[in-house]
Amino acid sequence: MEERLQKYLANNGIGARRKCEEYIVQGRVKVNEKVVTQLGTKINPEKDLIEFDGKTVEKVNHYVYILLNKPIGYVTTVKDQFNRPTVLDLVKVDEKILPVGRLDMYTSGALILTNDGEFINKVTHPKNEVEKTYTVTVKGIVTKEDVEKLEAGVKIDDYISGKAKVKILKTNEEKQISRLQITIHEGKNREVRKMCEAIDKKVLALHRRKIGNIDVKNMKIGTWRYLKEQELKQLGLTNT
Protein backbone atom coordinates (compact mmCIF):
# COMPACT_ATOMS: atom_id res chain seq x y z
CA MET A 1 0.00 0.00 0.00
CA GLU A 2 1.47 3.32 -1.10
CA GLU A 3 1.75 6.40 1.10
CA ARG A 4 3.33 9.83 0.81
CA LEU A 5 7.00 9.94 1.73
CA GLN A 6 6.63 12.78 4.25
CA LYS A 7 3.81 10.93 6.01
CA TYR A 8 5.93 7.78 6.27
CA LEU A 9 8.82 9.78 7.76
CA ALA A 10 6.50 11.49 10.26
CA ASN A 11 4.80 8.26 11.28
CA ASN A 12 8.16 6.68 11.96
CA GLY A 13 9.75 9.15 14.33
CA ILE A 14 11.69 11.51 12.05
CA GLY A 15 9.67 14.62 12.94
CA ALA A 16 6.44 16.50 12.40
CA ARG A 17 5.16 16.24 8.84
CA ARG A 18 6.05 19.84 8.00
CA LYS A 19 9.59 19.25 9.26
CA CYS A 20 9.85 16.07 7.19
CA GLU A 21 8.84 18.06 4.11
CA GLU A 22 11.77 20.40 4.79
CA TYR A 23 14.13 17.43 5.09
CA ILE A 24 12.96 16.10 1.70
CA VAL A 25 13.46 19.47 -0.03
CA GLN A 26 16.93 19.73 1.58
CA GLY A 27 17.94 16.44 -0.08
CA ARG A 28 18.38 14.53 3.17
CA VAL A 29 16.04 11.67 2.22
CA LYS A 30 16.75 8.75 -0.11
CA VAL A 31 14.35 6.21 -1.59
CA ASN A 32 16.05 3.05 -2.83
CA GLU A 33 19.45 4.78 -2.56
CA LYS A 34 18.39 7.78 -4.69
CA VAL A 35 17.93 11.29 -3.24
CA VAL A 36 14.30 12.44 -3.52
CA THR A 37 13.45 16.14 -3.25
CA GLN A 38 9.94 16.08 -4.73
CA LEU A 39 7.14 16.58 -2.19
CA GLY A 40 4.23 14.22 -2.68
CA THR A 41 6.47 11.33 -3.73
CA LYS A 42 4.72 8.06 -2.93
CA ILE A 43 6.50 5.00 -1.56
CA ASN A 44 5.65 1.42 -0.72
CA PRO A 45 6.74 0.85 2.90
CA GLU A 46 6.77 -2.92 2.36
CA LYS A 47 9.19 -2.81 -0.58
CA ASP A 48 11.08 0.49 -0.65
CA LEU A 49 14.23 1.35 1.30
CA ILE A 50 13.85 4.77 2.96
CA GLU A 51 16.90 6.56 4.38
CA PHE A 52 17.26 9.80 6.32
CA ASP A 53 20.76 11.28 6.70
CA GLY A 54 22.20 7.96 5.56
CA LYS A 55 20.32 5.82 8.07
CA THR A 56 17.44 3.45 7.29
CA VAL A 57 14.07 4.64 8.55
CA GLU A 58 12.60 1.57 10.24
CA LYS A 59 8.86 1.22 10.61
CA VAL A 60 7.71 2.08 14.15
CA ASN A 61 5.40 -0.58 15.53
CA HIS A 62 4.93 0.88 18.99
CA TYR A 63 4.24 4.54 19.74
CA VAL A 64 5.18 6.06 23.09
CA TYR A 65 3.90 9.34 24.56
CA ILE A 66 5.83 10.82 27.47
CA LEU A 67 5.10 13.83 29.69
CA LEU A 68 8.11 15.66 31.15
CA ASN A 69 8.06 18.46 33.71
CA LYS A 70 10.99 20.27 32.13
CA PRO A 71 13.45 22.13 34.35
CA ILE A 72 15.02 25.47 33.46
CA GLY A 73 18.40 25.09 31.76
CA TYR A 74 17.48 22.38 29.23
CA VAL A 75 16.86 22.95 25.53
CA THR A 76 14.13 21.15 23.59
CA THR A 77 16.27 19.83 20.74
CA VAL A 78 17.65 16.36 20.07
CA LYS A 79 21.22 17.68 19.74
CA ASP A 80 22.47 21.14 20.64
CA GLN A 81 25.24 22.86 18.69
CA PHE A 82 26.48 24.57 21.88
CA ASN A 83 26.53 21.30 23.87
CA ARG A 84 23.89 22.53 26.31
CA PRO A 85 21.89 19.85 28.14
CA THR A 86 18.80 18.71 26.22
CA VAL A 87 15.51 17.22 27.39
CA LEU A 88 16.69 13.86 26.03
CA ASP A 89 19.33 13.84 28.78
CA LEU A 90 16.40 13.58 31.21
CA VAL A 91 14.23 11.03 29.40
CA LYS A 92 16.05 7.76 28.71
CA VAL A 93 14.01 5.27 26.69
CA ASP A 94 14.82 2.79 23.91
CA GLU A 95 12.59 4.53 21.37
CA LYS A 96 13.81 7.45 19.25
CA ILE A 97 11.63 10.23 20.66
CA LEU A 98 11.26 13.89 19.75
CA PRO A 99 9.89 16.90 21.67
CA VAL A 100 6.39 18.03 20.71
CA GLY A 101 6.91 21.74 20.10
CA ARG A 102 9.36 23.80 22.12
CA LEU A 103 9.96 25.43 25.46
CA ASP A 104 12.86 27.85 25.59
CA MET A 105 15.83 27.17 27.86
CA TYR A 106 14.52 29.46 30.60
CA THR A 107 10.96 28.12 30.63
CA SER A 108 9.96 25.13 32.75
CA GLY A 109 6.94 22.87 32.64
CA ALA A 110 4.87 20.50 30.53
CA LEU A 111 6.53 19.00 27.47
CA ILE A 112 5.39 15.91 25.58
CA LEU A 113 7.91 13.67 23.80
CA THR A 114 6.97 10.94 21.33
CA ASN A 115 8.04 8.87 18.33
CA ASP A 116 4.72 9.64 16.62
CA GLY A 117 5.36 12.40 14.06
CA GLU A 118 1.72 12.74 13.08
CA PHE A 119 0.87 13.37 16.73
CA ILE A 120 3.55 16.09 16.85
CA ASN A 121 2.01 17.72 13.79
CA LYS A 122 -1.49 17.64 15.24
CA VAL A 123 -0.54 19.06 18.66
CA THR A 124 1.58 21.87 17.22
CA HIS A 125 -0.64 22.86 14.27
CA PRO A 126 -2.65 26.01 15.11
CA LYS A 127 -5.79 24.70 13.37
CA ASN A 128 -6.23 22.06 16.08
CA GLU A 129 -6.23 24.76 18.78
CA VAL A 130 -4.64 22.66 21.52
CA GLU A 131 -4.52 25.01 24.49
CA LYS A 132 -1.32 25.59 26.45
CA THR A 133 -1.63 27.14 29.91
CA TYR A 134 1.24 29.07 31.49
CA THR A 135 1.90 30.54 34.91
CA VAL A 136 3.82 33.79 34.47
CA THR A 137 5.51 36.03 37.01
CA VAL A 138 6.16 39.55 35.72
CA LYS A 139 7.73 42.75 37.04
CA GLY A 140 5.09 45.41 37.69
CA ILE A 141 1.40 45.45 38.54
CA VAL A 142 -0.83 44.08 35.80
CA THR A 143 -4.08 46.04 35.42
CA LYS A 144 -7.51 45.07 34.14
CA GLU A 145 -6.71 47.08 31.00
CA ASP A 146 -3.53 45.03 30.47
CA VAL A 147 -5.57 41.84 30.73
CA GLU A 148 -8.05 43.11 28.15
CA LYS A 149 -5.20 43.94 25.74
CA LEU A 150 -3.66 40.49 26.10
CA GLU A 151 -7.02 38.79 25.60
CA ALA A 152 -7.80 40.81 22.47
CA GLY A 153 -4.32 40.26 20.95
CA VAL A 154 -1.20 42.45 21.02
CA LYS A 155 1.34 43.28 18.30
CA ILE A 156 4.38 41.01 18.38
CA ASP A 157 7.11 41.42 15.76
CA ASP A 158 5.10 41.30 12.51
CA TYR A 159 1.90 39.69 13.76
CA ILE A 160 -0.92 40.09 16.28
CA SER A 161 -1.00 37.44 19.00
CA GLY A 162 -3.97 35.10 18.99
CA LYS A 163 -6.76 35.65 21.47
CA ALA A 164 -5.76 34.49 24.95
CA LYS A 165 -7.43 33.71 28.26
CA VAL A 166 -5.76 35.72 31.02
CA LYS A 167 -6.31 35.63 34.77
CA ILE A 168 -4.50 37.65 37.47
CA LEU A 169 -3.55 35.14 40.17
CA LYS A 170 -1.73 37.50 42.54
CA THR A 171 -0.23 40.98 42.79
CA ASN A 172 2.29 42.31 45.28
CA GLU A 173 2.36 46.11 45.50
CA GLU A 174 5.39 46.13 47.79
CA LYS A 175 7.56 43.97 45.53
CA GLN A 176 5.88 45.29 42.36
CA ILE A 177 5.29 41.78 41.02
CA SER A 178 2.26 40.16 39.39
CA ARG A 179 1.45 36.52 38.76
CA LEU A 180 -0.75 35.58 35.81
CA GLN A 181 -2.27 32.54 34.18
CA ILE A 182 -2.19 32.82 30.39
CA THR A 183 -3.79 30.27 28.06
CA ILE A 184 -2.99 30.34 24.33
CA HIS A 185 -3.33 27.82 21.50
CA GLU A 186 -0.73 28.93 18.96
CA GLY A 187 2.50 29.03 20.94
CA LYS A 188 4.79 30.71 18.43
CA ASN A 189 8.42 31.31 19.34
CA ARG A 190 8.60 32.96 22.80
CA GLU A 191 5.02 34.16 22.32
CA VAL A 192 4.05 34.48 26.00
CA ARG A 193 7.22 36.42 26.82
CA LYS A 194 6.64 38.76 23.88
CA MET A 195 2.98 39.24 24.82
CA CYS A 196 4.06 40.43 28.27
CA GLU A 197 6.72 42.70 26.78
CA ALA A 198 3.97 44.23 24.61
CA ILE A 199 2.25 45.51 27.77
CA ASP A 200 5.64 46.66 29.19
CA LYS A 201 5.95 43.83 31.70
CA LYS A 202 9.21 41.91 31.96
CA VAL A 203 8.85 38.16 32.53
CA LEU A 204 10.67 37.00 35.67
CA ALA A 205 9.55 33.36 35.56
CA LEU A 206 7.59 31.26 33.06
CA HIS A 207 6.15 27.78 33.61
CA ARG A 208 3.89 25.80 31.27
CA ARG A 209 1.37 24.16 33.55
CA LYS A 210 -0.85 22.35 31.04
CA ILE A 211 -1.10 21.08 27.48
CA GLY A 212 -4.81 20.67 26.86
CA ASN A 213 -6.01 19.11 30.13
CA ILE A 214 -2.69 17.35 30.78
CA ASP A 215 -1.26 18.93 33.93
CA VAL A 216 2.18 18.67 35.58
CA LYS A 217 1.09 20.13 38.95
CA ASN A 218 1.66 16.80 40.76
CA MET A 219 5.01 16.07 39.08
CA LYS A 220 8.37 17.15 40.46
CA ILE A 221 10.48 19.29 38.14
CA GLY A 222 12.76 17.05 36.05
CA THR A 223 10.58 13.93 36.32
CA TRP A 224 8.65 12.21 33.53
CA ARG A 225 5.96 9.59 33.01
CA TYR A 226 4.09 7.87 30.20
CA LEU A 227 0.80 9.49 29.24
CA LYS A 228 -2.28 7.47 30.04
CA GLU A 229 -4.61 6.28 27.32
CA GLN A 230 -7.38 8.42 28.79
CA GLU A 231 -5.19 11.54 28.53
CA LEU A 232 -4.46 10.79 24.89
CA LYS A 233 -8.16 10.35 24.23
CA GLN A 234 -8.82 13.73 25.86
CA LEU A 235 -6.43 15.30 23.36
CA GLY A 236 -8.11 13.29 20.62
CA LEU A 237 -4.97 13.30 18.52
CA THR A 238 -3.29 9.93 18.89
CA ASN A 239 -2.59 7.38 16.14
CA THR A 240 -3.33 4.51 18.56
Active site residues: 104
Q: How many residues does the chain have?
A: 240
CA atoms within 13 A on the CB side of 203: 20
Q: Which residues pair with 166 in a beta bridge?
A: 182
Contact (Cβ atoms closer than 8 angstroms) between residue 210 and residue 95 = no
* Three-state secondary-structure class, residue 116: coil
Q: Rounded to whole angstroms, how far apart are CA atoms 85 and 102? A: 14
Residue 91 CB neighbour total at 10 angstroms:
19
Rounded to whole angstroms, what are the CA distances from 207 to 2, 15, 234? 43, 25, 22
Q: Which residues pair with 210 in a beta bridge?
A: 133, 215
Q: Rounded to whole angstroms, how far apart are CA atoms 150 and 161? A: 8
Q: Rounded to whole angstroms, how far apart are CA atoms 124 and 135? A: 20
Rounded to whole angstroms, what are the CA distances from 64 to 1, 97, 114, 137, 226? 24, 8, 5, 33, 7
Contact (Cβ atoms closer than 8 angstroms) between residue 108 and residue 220 = no
